[in-house]
Every structure is written in structure tokens, then in C-alpha cells.
Amino acid sequence: MRCINFDKEFERYMMAYVKEHGKEYKNYDAIEAAMPEIYERFLDTPANWLSNAKPGEYFEQFDNPKQLVNWMEDYIKQRIPVPDMLMNRISELGRTAEDALMQLLQKERAPREAVMNAMTLLREIESTAPASMYVELQVSRKDGEDELADNALESLADMEEKAVPAMLEALPRANAAGKVALLTLLCNYPGEETVFETALNLFRMLPDQVAVLADCLAKLGDERALPELKKAAGSEETPYLDYIELRNAIEALGGECPEREFDAQDPAYEAMCKMQ
């Protein structure tokens, strides 16, 4: 399928529009403010480069999910911006597009952007088909930035209780980063002893994740976490921002947080003081 650069065509439309209507605007800021309206006009204006079809309606004539998903991948391979209208059309097809999107998700050497788009579209059509795949991305999650795992985690969050069994099964075998990620969702479903024990153990082991894990422990609602939370809150090594999260967690569990004094050597505390 032909990959038309709709962004470039809009730029041409915009230049012609401003040339014709520029005097109607006081300054460049006024043109910027009118950009959404001008774009809507572009979408609704028959174009000769589309055989007189309207850009906003062009993809509506196609209803083969496999064709549309492959088309989206071709756009990425050719380094042409994927039109929003193409993405919207795939989403409009709903569950009928699920198989084609799953095939792309499982395709070896698929462009990362295409995989990310497939994840987003599967989330939009409320598919739970990739749940186990998304959980496995957490199991082997990279330390630091991991866009694929983050996107997958967002989808798992939207799946709510439907994803819980798979996450519980994977929790013991996940790496540290994966455990933390899974806990941020599992803490919303308290009652599993394994989840509490894992959160508490990681809280002891990962000082750089204190704030996140303190929030998880608070949501789990188990008062057995209070001694460890208070110990961390009272430590001189705990920075101000982590202390605030610890205090919130302790109070959420009905405890009383140890008082601490901070000085200008703590950058976050100094910045807060300057704002007051």
C-alpha cells in the first residue's frame, strides 16, 4: 500500500491557507491558536493527491485489519509518520483487529515503534489477549528506562483483576525491577501473603525504591510493615522526598512517623523551603 505523508501534505495546506488568509490573524500566536481549526478543515477538504477524497475519511474505505496493521508497519519502516487517521481506523475495528495486532506483537524483528503502536491499539480495544506476554516483559524487565515494559504495564493496569493471576504466578521469578513493577499493580488487590512478603523484602533490599515500595505497603494495608517503615523514616540516610512518602505510608497504616529535621544539604528540602 502507498504510504502517503499526511504531515507533509498538511504543511503544504497550511502554507497555502496562511498565504490566503494570513491577514485575518493579528500575529503568529493567533495563527497557532487557530491551528486545531485549520487542521480540521484540512481533514474535511477533498484533496487532489487523494483522488479528491477527504484526508479525514481516506482510511474509512478500508476494513481489512491485517491490511491496515501491515500498512501501519510499512509507514514505520519507510520512516513516514503514521497518520492518526490510520491508527483511529484500526482502533475503530475493535476486536476484529485483535489477531492482526497480536501477530505484529509476536513478530520477530518488528520495528519497536510498530510494537508500541500495537500495544496501544490493543489497549484501546480492551484486549486481554496479550496479558501473559505483557507479564513476561515485567519478569525480565530492564533496570532504568524500559519503554516496552512500561507500555505493557499500563495495559496490565487497564486489565485490572483479569491480569492478577498471571502477575501472581510471575512475581516469584521476576527480577528485582520486574517485582517492583508488578507490585505497583498487585498492591491494589491486597490479601495475598506472597505479595506482602515480597514488598517488605524488597523494601529492605532496595533503598532507591523506598518511596514506591512504601506506597505499595500502604495500599496493602498490613500493619506488620510499620516497624520497617518507621525505621527507614527515622534513618539519617533517608532523603526528604523519601521521608515524605514514608510518613504518608505510616499514617495510612495508622502509625505515627518519627520526627526528623532536614537542612539545606538536602536539595529537595532546600527547594521546598525556597518555594514557601
Compute φ and ψ for 192, nearest 5 degrees: -90, 120
What is the pLDDT averaged over residues 245-257? Answer: 96
Three-state DSSP state, 53: strand
pTM of the model: 0.86
Q: What is the pLDDT of residue 270?
A: 54
Q: Could you tell me the CA-to-CA distances from 184 to 146, 153, 178, 196, 220 in Å, in that order?
A: 16, 9, 10, 12, 10
Residue 276 has pLDDT above 70, yes or no: no
Q: Do the beta carbons of residue 80 and residue 5 sit within 8 Å? A: yes
Give the pLDDT confidence of 70-126 residue by residue, as tens digits: 999 999 999 999 999 999 999 999 999 999 999 999 999 999 999 999 999 999 999
In 3D space, the residue among 162, 228, 145 whose CA is nearest the CA of residue 220 turns out to be: 228
Residue 28 has pLDDT above 80, yes or no: no
Q: What is the pLDDT of residue 263?
A: 67
Tell me which of 13-22, 105-114, 173-182, 228-237 is least confident: 13-22
Q: What is the pLDDT of residue 11?
A: 95
Q: What is the pLDDT of residue 31?
A: 81
List the chain domain ranges.
1-86, 152-276
What is the pLDDT averaged over residues 28-34? Answer: 83
Q: Which residues of 100-139 are buried (b: 16+ CB within 10 A; e: fewer)?
A: bbbebbeeeebeebbbbbbbebbbbbebbebbeebbbbbb
